[in-house]
C-alpha cells in the first residue's frame, strides 16, 4: 500500500513539473516584451532543470521497474526450478518403483510356472494310481474304501485343473500362448458347449433357452480358447442358478460386433465384489457359500482370452436376482489379428 502511494506521489510531482515546464515555455514564446536577459535566462534555466528532473525521474522509474521485474522473474525461475527438481525426483522414484514391481511380478510368474510344472508330474502319477485302485485293478475294495478313493480322486482332479490354469495364465501373460484364428459362426461354438453343459443343467432342472440372430456374421477366433470362454460363462450360470430356474442365451450383432449374452436368475454379484470379478484367485463371498470348490481363475482367463480377440467381456448383476454376462467379438471383416 505504501509503495502504491509513493508511485502516485511521484506521478503527481512529474505532472506538476511538466505543467510548470509548459507554462514557462509559453511565457518565453508568447510574451515578446519579456526581453530582459536575466528573466529570460532564469526561465530557460528553469526549463532546463525541470526537463533534466523529468528525464531523471523517467530513467529512475524505468530502472526500478526493471529491477522489480527482474526480481519477480528470478523468484518465478527459482520456484520453477524447485518444482522441476521435485518432479524429476518423483519421476525417478516412480520409475524405480515400477521397475521393481515388474521384477517382482516376473519372479512371481516364474515361481508359479516352475511350481506348476513340478507339481504336474506327481499329480499325474497320483491320478494314475487312484484310477487303478478305483477300477480295482489290483484287487477288490469295499464300499467305504472306494468312497474314500473317489474323494481323493476328485481332489486330485481339482489340483490338476488348478495347475493347468496356472500354466495357462503364465502362457497368456508371457505371450507364449499361440492363437490359431479361423472364421466361424459363434453359434456353432455355443451349440458344442451346450452338448456338454446340458446334463449339468438337467440335474438341477434348469432350462437353457438359446436364441440366435439369423444370418450371423462370422468371427475370427481360436475355437478351442473361445470354447473355453463360452463354457466357463455358461457353467457359472448353471452353477450359481437356483433349481428349476432359467438361463437365457442370446447371440446377436451390435455395432460391428457379435455379442453373446448369458442371463441367469442366480445369486447375483454383490456390489462390493464387482470391481474384483475379473481378478485372479478372487471369488465372491456369496459364491463361496454356494460352491466351496473353485480357484477364482476362470473369469480372469476368459477376460485375457477375449482381449486377445480384440473383444470385450462385461456383466450386469443384481444380488439375489441374477447376472448377465456379455462377450463381444468383432465381426471377421473388422478383426485385426
> What confidence tens digit (pLDDT) does each residue in 270-319 have?
887 788 888 877 666 656 566 656 667 888 889 999 999 999 999 998 88
Q: Average pLDDT in the 196-202 region?
A: 90
Q: Which pLDDT value is given to residue 253? A: 93
Higher-pLDDT residue of 302 and 116 is 302
List the beta bridge partners of residue 315: 325
Q: Using the predicted structure, report yes or no on whether residue 79 has a pLDDT greater than 70.
A: yes
Q: Which pLDDT value is given to residue 186? A: 93
Three-class DSSP category at 93: helix
| CA gap 202, 208 in Å, rounded | 9
| CA gap 232, 237 in Å, rounded | 9
Lowest-confidence segment of 143-152, 211-220, 282-291, 296-305 by average pLDDT: 282-291
Q: Average pLDDT in the 187-211 region?
A: 92
Lowest-confidence segment of 152-156, 191-195, 219-223 by average pLDDT: 152-156
Domains of the chain: 1-177 (no CATH), 182-334 (3.30.565.10)
Eight-class DSSP state of 215: T
- Name the band, by pLDDT with cuts 50, 70 and 90, for residue 8: very low
Three-class DSSP category at 183: strand
- Is the distance from CB of 184 to CB of 223 less than 8 angstroms? yes
- Under 8 Å CB-to-CB from 234, ≥6 apart: which residues? 190, 193, 194, 197, 208, 247, 249, 262
List the beta bridge partners of residue 206: none
Eight-class DSSP state of 242: P
Q: Using the predicted structure, report yes or no on whether residue 74 has a pLDDT greater than 70.
A: yes
Q: Which pLDDT value is given to residue 4? A: 47
Q: Which pLDDT value is given to residue 274? A: 80
Three-class DSSP category at 166: helix
Distance of CA 126 to the CA centre of its chain: 42
Distance of CA 278 to the CA centre of its chain: 13
Q: Average pLDDT in the 316-324 region?
A: 89
For Cα atoms 190, 192, 194, give the angle at the middle one, nearest 5 degrees: 70
Q: Average pLDDT in the 216-222 region?
A: 92
* Mean pLDDT, the chain, integer: 79
Q: Using the predicted structure, report yes or no on whether residue 335 has a pLDDT greater than 50.
A: no
Amino acid at each position: 500500500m505504501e509503495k502504491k502511494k509513493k508511485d502516485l506521489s511521484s506521478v503527481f510531482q512529474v505532472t506538476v513539473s511538466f505543467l510548470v515546464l509548459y507554462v514557462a515555455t509559453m511565457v518565453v514564446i508568447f510574451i515578446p516584451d519579456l526581453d530582459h536577459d536575466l528573466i529570460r535566462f532564469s526561465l530557460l534555466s528553469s526549463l532546463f532543470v525541470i526537463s533534466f528532473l523529468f528525464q531523471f525521474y523517467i530513467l529512475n522509474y524505468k530502472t526500478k521497474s526493471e529491477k522489480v521485474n527482474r526480481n519477480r522473474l528470478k523468484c518465478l525461475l527459482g520456484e520453477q526450478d524447485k518444482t522441476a527438481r521435485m518432479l524429476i525426483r518423483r519421476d525417478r522414484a516412480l520409475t524405480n518403483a515400477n521397475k521393481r514391481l515388474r521384477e517382482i511380478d516376473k519372479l512371481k510368474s516364474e515361481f508359479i510356472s516352475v511350481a506348476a510344472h513340478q507339481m504336474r508330474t506327481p499329480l499325474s502319477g497320483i491320478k494314475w494310481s487312484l484310477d487303478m485302485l478305483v477300477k480295482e485293478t489290483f484287487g477288490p475294495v469295499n464300499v467305504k474304501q472306494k468312497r474314500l478313493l473317489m474323494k481323493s480322486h476328485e481332489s486330485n482332479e481339482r489340483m490338476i485343473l488348478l495347475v493347468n490354469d496356472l500354466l495357462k495364465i503364465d502362457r497368456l501373460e508371457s505371450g507364449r500362448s499361440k492363437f490359431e484364428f479361423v472364421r466361424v459362426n459363434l453359434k456353432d461354438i455355443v451349440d458344442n458347449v451346450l452338448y456338454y453343459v446340458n446334463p449339468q443343467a438337467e440335474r438341477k432342472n434348469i432350462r437353457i433357452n438359446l436364441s440366435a440372430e439369423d444370418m450371423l456374421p462370422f468371427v475370427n477366433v481360436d475355437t478351442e480358447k473361445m470354447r473355453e470362454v463360452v463354457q466357463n460363462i455358461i457353467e457359472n450360470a448353471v452353477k450359481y442358478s437356483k433349481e428349476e430356474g432359467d438361463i437365457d442365451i442370446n447371440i446377436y450383432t451390435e455395432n460391428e460386433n457379435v455379442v453373446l449374452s448369458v442371463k441367469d436368475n442366480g445369486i447375483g454379484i454383490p456390489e462390493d465384489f464387482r470391481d474384483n470379478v475379473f481378478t485372479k484367485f478372487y471369488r465372491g463371498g456369496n459364491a463361496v457359500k454356494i460352491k466351496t470348490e473353485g480357484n477364482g481363475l476362470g473369469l480372469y482367463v476368459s477376460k485375457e482370452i477375449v482381449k486377445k480377440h480384440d473383444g470385450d467381456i462385461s456383466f450386469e448383476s443384481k444380488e439375489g436376482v441374477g447376472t448377465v454376462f456379455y462377450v463381444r467379438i468383432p465381426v471377421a471383416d473388422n478383426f485385426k489379428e
